[in-house]
Structure 1
Amino acid sequence: MKSHATDLIKMPLGFWAGLRQLGIAAHDVARRARLPLTIVNEPVVTTAQYFAIWQAYADLIGDTAKGIIQLVSIFETAKYPPPVLATYHARDYRDALHRMARYKILCPPESLSINEEGEQCTIEMEWLHAEQPGPPILAGITLAFLMELGRRGTGQRVTAQSVEFMHPIGDVQVLEAYFGCPIQLEAPNNRLTLHRRDLDRSFASYNEELLEILTPALDQSLDGHQRNRSIKEMVKWIMKRSLTSGRPDIHSVAKELGMSDRTLQRRLTDENTSFKNLLTQARHEQARAYLADSSLDIKEVAFLIGYEDQNSFYRAFRIWEGETPTNWRNQYLDTTSLSEGRLSIPTIN
């Protein structure tokens, strides 16, 4: 996993306190993650460090599913960062979820995409600033938190219609009991599907006055964050989120950015690129990220980046990398294995 200048993540204020409540020492997590002990006092970490910390927690807790439910259940609402805390004071469950999706970019490493259709509301998550997916426990924590948000906000035991995870995630029965629905593993995406009727449930914790204070400040932070990113970075980010739903078009991307098609085209031209070029880059980058995950077969990778058939993906990948996806994956895995074999355990400070 590469580290990027923009992939710094603030550790949740209550994370280490939550682990203490579960009988897990912060220093044990740092050691397990092969990080300096001083990491527990760092307010900001990289994506790679963040993933390592969560994987260490999963290893120490023993069963991923139990680790998800235990931490989500004991985490104090007041200790969530402001972008998350604001969702608990939303008007209803729908308002809370859309606020979460809007402001989630201020709390990486994942983004959320919400789609309401028929009687369902699906929420999919995508990883940011990572060449490989995050640890399964973090995907589980994210979706369980969205469930917890509805329950704490409404004061009722809201249940999901279905939950899908890309990877094995421990005792499935524990998760089914928590979510109140079937759990599917080895799915194309990490996805929570809610009953759309539940989105109209009012929040007992609704606080209009507090939202009037928090919302402008969060919007200002969001605007500042977006100004610090080039338009092509934002376009690629939106593309990557929507590749599995089909080929993104300039109209839908421009709409999400709050501008016209012509304005978006002009902005991209000013940055010496085009919508078509960025779509190719987004597919290429996502293809490399998915191929780095050996649990995904080539056909799945093709689907995940928006190709209807495997042959089209093979042709495109040969143009990008000069070799087949299978050969690229084998070389990547061989290199990774060799690097890990040479890795020595760092000194614990």
Structure 2
Amino acid sequence: MAYVKRLLSGAAREGAELADLMREAGLEPALLERPEAALATGDFIRLMQIVMRRTEDEFIGLGRGTKSKPGTFSMMAHAVINCPNLEKAVQRSAQFYKLVDLPLDLRLEKGERETRLVIDSPSVESRDNVLEAMIFISVRFWSWLTGKNLEATSIHFDFPEPPQAGEFRRLFRGRVVYNDKVSALVFPTSWLSLPLVQNPLSLSKFLKDSLALIIVGNAQPIGLPEQIRAIISKEYGNTFPDFAQVCEQLSMTPQTLRRRLKEENTSYQEIKDSIRQDASLYYLGKEELSIDEIALMMGFSEASSFHRAFKKWTGRTPASYRRELLGLPEDAVEEEDDDEDGWVAG
């Protein structure tokens, strides 16, 4: 509980009553006085979300006057999501934080076998808290971007070891070193060439619950269907490559790829349909796009065939889904007619 109190110290400096924060999270304030107590993951996530909302700061008040406005992490994530690999994503995130004028200095030092991401925040008073958070978030976000459970070789801090250092060490398998010359995240150089397997659609889902996903940190290894989804989403936009092109990308023969997909109880057609479904749900949330426009983006020449496909996927029409999603009145979205098929893409 001592580590939690340390994280809450910024909110307390900004005038928040810690007991009120605990009660709003459905927690007993007396827990704060029990150093041996621990919060369940869900309780901790809920408490941190409340603190961010109260402080209007993604640094949860730890920056002492330097705030990371809500939405800053989301903007950074959107800036890097289309990068081809992790190296480009890290470089772009470093550029992003300079542009938004946050006191964060990120520097990539690439070696033959190991690479260091040196992190500094010179003008922040509680910089030790901010640096710990930045390194933790970086490793977890990179894991999500690449679809791999990444474990740093070592983590280094240029400040003395705090009393609660054991709680931070338990978050990582690698060494955590304090009182070093610089604060840095050390990892295998091979990480830099890892392709990003996520895309803008998966990012929109991630950002709805990013705090929970980062804290839990359970990035799953990317299987063959997910690799194919990543190839289509990143390289082909709203069009679909033919099966031979996908085989070439994966360095597999058509027979091998069909067999591997069958072993995973799916097929190329099912993967394409799932992408269309996810993309449809995403674009129906964009009120500026008409249903006809979304139908064309999904590869349908007629809205009616898109209407039937969407109803098959979800049991609802695109219009009714959009009305509920956007809170629109009954007559705000025109229903589509079921006429003849107009399917274009395979």
Bin of the TM-score, shorter chain as denominator length: 0.3 to 0.5
TM-score, L = length of structure 2: 0.37
Structure with higher Rg: it is: 2
| TM-score, scaled to structure 1 | 0.37
Which structure has more RCO (C-alpha within 8 Å, separation ≥ 6)?
1
